[in-house]
Copies of this chain bind each other. A is one copy, B any other.
Amino acid sequence: MTYCVAMALKDGLVFAADSRTNAGVDQIATYRKLHKFTVDGERVIILLSAGNLATTQSVISLLKMRLGSDQPNLFGVQSLYEAATVVGNTSREVVRRDSGQSQGKVDFGCSFIVGGQVHGEPPRLFLVYPEGNFIECTPDTPYFQIGETKYGKPILDRVIDYDLPLEQAAKCALISLDSTIRSNLSVGLPLDVLLYDRNSFCTARQFDITEDNVYFRALGEAWSVGLRQAFSELPEMDW
The chain A residues found within 8 Å of chain B, CB to CB, are 150-151, 153-155, 157-159, 166-167, 170-172, 174-175, 179, 182-183, 195, 205, 207, 215, 218-219, 222-224, 226-231, 233-237, 239
Contact = CB atoms under 8 A, between A and B. Distances in A.
A172 B219 contact: no
Nearest to A166: B239
Each complex incorporates copies of this chain amounting to 2
Main secondary structure of the interface of A (DSSP, over half): helix
Given A219-B235, A234-B219, A235-B219, A157 B183 contact: yes
Given A237-B167, A239-B170, A228 B158 contact: yes
A159 B239 contact: no
Contacts of A229: 226, 230
Nearest to A221: B235
Contacts of A230: 223, 226-227, 229-230
